[in-house]
Structure 1
Amino acid sequence: MCNLVFFSRLPSETKEILTMNPKLTKYQEKQLCSFLGKVKLRLLYKASVHTFSGTVFHQICDNQGPTISVGYNSSGFVFGGYTSKDHDVAKNGQFIHDDNAFLFSLKLKNSVKYPVINFPNAVKIHHNCGPFFGDDFVLMYDNTAIAVSKPGSHYNFNAAEMHGNNLNLSECEVYKVEEFITLEKPWRTILWETERRAELMESIKLYKPTISSVGQARVLLIGPVGSGKSSLFNSINSIFRGHVTSQAISGSSGTSVTIQFRSYSVKDGRNGKPLSVVFCDTMGLEEGRDAGLHEDDLSSILKGHVPERYKFNPLAPLQADAQGSQQTVELQDRIHCVAYVMDTCKVSVMSTKLLEKLAAIRKSVTLLGVPQLVVLTKVDEACPWVADDLRNVYESQYIKTKAQEVSCQLGVPMSCIVPVKNYSEEVELEMNCDILLLSAVIQMLRFADNYFDDVSDQGKQD
């Protein structure tokens, strides 16, 4: 599930861009979606961000269509209600007919759904209250962090079972429920077979750069903080190691975990020889010019001047002629392909400053003639339907839309965008995950060959 955006329905003088992290776990989201079918949830309102206010709830959540409202208490209960109808403060004091409404309580096992029993009075609108289900259940009563629970007349539920009789809310969230639009035809054809996995692995093992003086193709990973650059290498390395491993430091810090320039070879097994591909990891991109990877450092990396384990300093980028930089540079030291690693969940919420920085970087890379592609990570978090089955990735309209959005933002064709899922929670390899990752590596090597071809052609002209 994505980290989400915005305060879109507040008055203009109070609008601001906000980043909200859903409190719902992936497992809890999956439980809720199982009640509703093929849907995904998009966070609209979070009380700890927007305040425990029924008034603000209506400003943000009215006329959004179907919504799931979730309450949390200090006893660990997660509970709430669903309506397929609009909340609309203009109907203050009125009941809304909804055959599909229900209340729920989420548990590790045996989560409970309580269907509406009085359809005409399923939902009530009150300007000072949050989500109001019949006269039985309210979240954020009278602009406070309090729930109201009176089972019986509209919904038949057990209060102790539902929320443990603890009506003090520690958090309240409202999610827009959106149906998945599946494509009639996948936007890219891929074979999900064990044999295909083996073929991809063998192709990568046998790969050799087309220029004999270059032993390994060097792929530079660039991306915003938290996009999954280091995890991408770890995931690819895991496939060839035969188990999930973590060589490159990765994490979810708000600032870059990678602070040094590192190049990582992929080995064919634990004691095997290095393959003919090297992944170069950089400091993550951040909004400010004086934060994250500096554009001047990027230029030095592309040209091969940055030594191994060079410590990045956003305030003082390495100069090509500075002490410690590599003065003598061969073709094998340069970067042969750039892969922009982007979090699918954050494609729509990248700031203008970050997009401007990416545009400047892309321009620099283009001027040096280095081929570029985009790796979309966390496709499972972006689309629960894909999380259920990774083979749905090319049938998901949502993932295709995100790819098209990235295509427009960075000015790269769709053919240069590859979706993947990194290994994050898993401890065992999974075939479909491997196939996406290996397919991405194949594209990187093809792009590196394009670079070598250009070098060879230039040499013939000279």
Structure 2
Amino acid sequence: MAKSGRSTHFWNNEETELMLGHLKELGILRFIDGRKTRNGDLFKKVQEHMARAGYKRTAEQIRIRWKHLKQAYYRARRKEHHTDAPAAGPCPFSGVMEELLGSQPPISGVKSEDTSEEEASYTLPIFNPPGHMSTLNPQLSINQQRTICSRLGGVRLNLLYKASVHGFTAEDFHEQCDNLAPTVSVGYNASGYVFGGYTRQPFCQSGEYVNDNQAFLFTFSGEKLCTFPPSNAACAVKMDSNSGPYFGEALVLVSGSNPIAYSDPGGYYPFNPVKMHGNDLDLTECEVYQLEGTTEPEKPWRTVIWESDMRRELMESIQSYEPTVSSISQARVLLIGPVGAGKSSFFNSVNSVFRGHVTSQAISGSSTTSLTTQFRSYSVKAGRGGKPLPILLCDTMGLEESKGAGLDIDDISSVLKGHLPDYYQFNPSAPLHSEAQCYRKSPDHKDKIHCVVYVIDACKISIMTPQLQEKLDAIRRKVNLMGIPQLVLLTRIDEACPLVKEDLRNVYKSLYIKNLMQEVSSRLGMPMSCVVPVKNYSEELELDMNCDILLLSAITQMLRFVDNYFDELSDRLNCPTELC
């Protein structure tokens, strides 16, 4: 059956077999001399056949795929003929490749423009079929490979270029890597740092910047992957003919065809050079891996029903919720988090779900300092002019790492206890004192916070600073002492994981998202069951059912935790005075 025409750099088994079948039908042996002028017509015909079957492949992509399969085949044949040859992985599609090339004698001494080294001499192994890297030994550890694969959606790594084998020059890099994507480029130095970058864009030598909003730089801290997204996606990668992998003027591996890296953190990719590479720019090795063949996602480790009926049930359940304490009509949930984590955006997203269209009531956006400067209690209404829902989302100023900036911890205590009025203007250098005119001295239970939610950006967990961590720990201790239940809202999950960006329903199939949830759970000292991933509306104009279900599920979980608080409160209110 014809597949969708969605273009992808991954080759699955079905389309590879289809390509080989067409090459066999068209008589590839008649074109085996490697002349590109003759081969070009052949690959264009295969391209047309594959397009009719629903596969969008260029003639150049087909030529490269064929070239790689030939290399794997000849390497396997070399092993058969030379017992002292390096161990080689099995040749993929060995049956049909034997039919196509088995009658061909080894080519020696002459290397045409499109002839691989395996074909020409049977001596230099320069290609590894997907899943088999034994010929070119990767320097990335198995755990590091797994971490990268998990981060990028369960793919496999195919080692294309190894500088110590192919050469520490731009020409060698481009010969092995041009027109192939997505790729992970990795640099190694004598100080033991492993660092590099990822891009979905195929390398070329145009001299231009290319847009890639999924690109990122990374470094390993032990086996932990720390990532740094671009500040300007339009200039994420530069296609430079005189250098190796070139990430937006921020990091270049094999700079000027020398075994060195170029590093300039700041405008393109903000990162700490000491953390990235220890300020050691002399490379001992550089590798480029291509991502191959996405594996099937694992079975979801949390159950979610992605259906419109579930969306309706969740909305009805939230609308009909009633606090178990009669004096309280609306549960008050406090949103706390770093600047830009998505607190205000979360309210706007939930409000959008119940309004029936994307809206933006609370001020939100991107800034280095908090856009929220007032304490606000937002009421969500069931439609335009509808009845307020039984939950209030309380928005606060964003947390900042430096002292005297962002939300003050003393103000948080006043919020939790119900002393701060709505529209209170935060002053980071002077928290509200008890003698202030607006200070609510005798708050009721309805004025207090019934659940605290920490809003954390999934893309920034690994680079959370110690100062910010300390502030969150201090807040957690205060909240714990007051017996208020707590949750974590993990935002921007689509930006953190390509598998989730492709389909939001993969959120609980993504090992990378699960690892992020485990990390934030560990950092905040909260169980995994208290971590809830969501995607806020940001660039969309229309609602998405799957996005709504995650948002509504988060609100439902908040109300369940609020019930725990109300149960404790009811016990205290009903407790005889002499026992309390």
Same fold (TM over 0.5): yes
The secondary structure found in structure 2 opposite 1:191 is coil
Q: Which structure 2 residue ranges, 5 or more long, are not aligned?
A: 1-5, 13-137, 146-156, 183-199, 205-241, 247-252, 259-266, 271-286
Q: 1:372 aligns with which of 486, 489, 494?
A: 486
The secondary structure found in structure 1 opposite 2:179 is strand
Identical aligned pairs, as a percentage?
55
Deviation at 1:104, TM superposition (A): 6.2
Q: 1:288 aligns with which of 391, 395, 402?
A: 402
| Equivalent pair of 1:181/1:396 in contact (CA under 8 Å) | no
The secondary structure found in structure 2 opposite 1:332 is helix
1:196-235 paired onto structure 2 within 5 Å = 196-235=310-349
Which residue matches 1:360? 474
1:364-403 paired onto structure 2 within 5 Å = 364-403=478-517
1:424-439 paired onto structure 2 within 5 Å = 424-439=538-553
Question: Which residue identity does 2:528 align to in structure 1?
Answer: M
CA deviation string 1:168-212 (max 9, x = no partner): xx9899997678776633121110000000000000000111101
Q: 1:103 aligns with which of 179, 190, 194?
A: 179
Q: For residues 521 and 164 of structure 2, what CA distance do their matches in structure 1 show?
A: 39
Which residue matches 2:351? 237
Shift in CA distance, 399/440, structure 1 to aligned 2, threshold 3 Å: same
Which residue matches 1:277? 391
Matched, 1:255 2:369: yes
Q: For residues 487 and 291 of structure 2, what CA distance do their matches in structure 1 show?
A: 30
The secondary structure found in structure 2 opposite 1:399 is helix
Question: Which residue identity does 1:103 align to in structure 2?
Answer: N
Q: 1:141 aligns with which of 256, 261, 281?
A: 256
Question: Which residue identity does 1:200 align to in structure 2?
Answer: L
Deviation at 1:320, TM superposition (A): 3.1
Shift in CA distance, 171/278, structure 1 to aligned 2, threshold 3 Å: closer
Q: For residues 307 and 198 of structure 1, what CA distance do their matches in structure 2 show?
A: 34
Which residue matches 2:440? 326
The secondary structure found in structure 2 opposite 1:440 is helix
| Equivalent pair of 1:243/1:428 in contact (CA under 8 Å) | yes
The secondary structure found in structure 1 opposite 2:543 is coil
Question: Which residue identity does 2:333 align to in structure 1?
Answer: V
| Equivalent pair of 1:287/1:357 in contact (CA under 8 Å) | yes
Q: Which structure 1 residue ranges, 5 or more long, are not aligned?
A: 1-31, 39-61, 67-81, 116-127, 133-137, 144-169
Larger mean CA deviation between 185-194 and 399-408 belongs to: 185-194
Deviation at 1:460, TM superposition (A): 2.5
| Equivalent pair of 1:261/1:311 in contact (CA under 8 Å) | yes
Which residue matches 2:126? none
Shift in CA distance, 353/178, structure 1 to aligned 2, threshold 3 Å: farther
1:300-311 paired onto structure 2 within 5 Å = 300-311=414-425
| Equivalent pair of 1:83/1:98 in contact (CA under 8 Å) | no
| Equivalent pair of 2:490/2:532 in contact (CA under 8 Å) | yes
CA deviation string 1:247-292 (max 9, x = no partner): 0000110110000001100001011011110000000011023111
Shift in CA distance, 274/253, structure 1 to aligned 2, threshold 3 Å: same
Matched, 1:456 2:456: no
| Equivalent pair of 1:419/1:436 in contact (CA under 8 Å) | yes
Question: Which residue identity does 1:84 align to in structure 2?
Answer: L
| Equivalent pair of 2:376/2:395 in contact (CA under 8 Å) | yes
| Equivalent pair of 2:319/2:389 in contact (CA under 8 Å) | yes
Q: 1:35 aligns with which of 3, 6, 9?
A: 9
| Equivalent pair of 1:260/1:283 in contact (CA under 8 Å) | yes
Matched, 1:415 2:490: no
1:77-226 paired onto structure 2 within 5 Å = 84-85=159-160, 87-88=162-163, 92=167, 101-103=177-179, 129-131=243-245, 141-142=256-257, 184-226=298-340
Deviation at 1:86, TM superposition (A): 5.1
Question: Which residue identity does 1:311 align to in structure 2?
Answer: Q
The secondary structure found in structure 2 opposite 1:315 is coil
Higher RCO, Cα 8 Å, sep 6+: 1
| Equivalent pair of 2:420/2:439 in contact (CA under 8 Å) | yes
Q: For residues 114 and 400 of structure 1, what CA distance do their matches in structure 2 show?
A: 31
The secondary structure found in structure 2 opposite 1:207 is coil
Deviation at 1:129, TM superposition (A): 4.1
CA deviation string 1:75-101 (max 9, x = no partner): xxxxxxx98335446874589799984
Which residue matches 1:316? 430
Q: For residues 525 and 269 of structure 2, what CA distance do their matches in structure 1 show?
A: 39
Q: Report the TM-score when normalising by structure 2.
A: 0.55
The secondary structure found in structure 1 opposite 2:461 is helix
Larger mean CA deviation between 320-329 and 451-460 belongs to: 320-329
Q: For residues 437 and 162 of structure 2, what CA distance do their matches in structure 1 show?
A: 64
Deviation at 1:457, TM superposition (A): 1.1
Question: Which residue identity does 2:347 align to in structure 1?
Answer: F
Question: Which residue identity does 1:197 align to in structure 2?
Answer: R
| Equivalent pair of 1:305/1:329 in contact (CA under 8 Å) | yes
| Equivalent pair of 1:215/1:276 in contact (CA under 8 Å) | yes
Q: For residues 36 and 404 of structure 1, what CA distance do their matches in structure 2 show?
A: 30
Q: For residues 142 and 431 of structure 1, what CA distance do their matches in structure 2 show?
A: 50
- Aligned residue pairs, count: 348
Q: 1:343 aligns with which of 447, 454, 457?
A: 457
Which residue matches 1:53? none
Which residue matches 2:30? none
The secondary structure found in structure 1 opposite 2:567 is helix
Q: For residues 203 and 410 of structure 1, what CA distance do their matches in structure 2 show?
A: 30
Question: Which residue identity does 1:459 align to in structure 2?
Answer: L
Q: For residues 415 and 248 of structure 1, what CA distance do their matches in structure 2 show?
A: 28
Q: For residues 375 and 173 of structure 2, what CA distance do their matches in structure 1 show?
A: 60
Question: Which residue identity does 1:348 align to in structure 2?
Answer: S
Shift in CA distance, 176/263, structure 1 to aligned 2, threshold 3 Å: farther
CA deviation string 1:93-129 (max 9, x = no partner): 58979998442699xxxx99699xxxxxxxxxxxx94
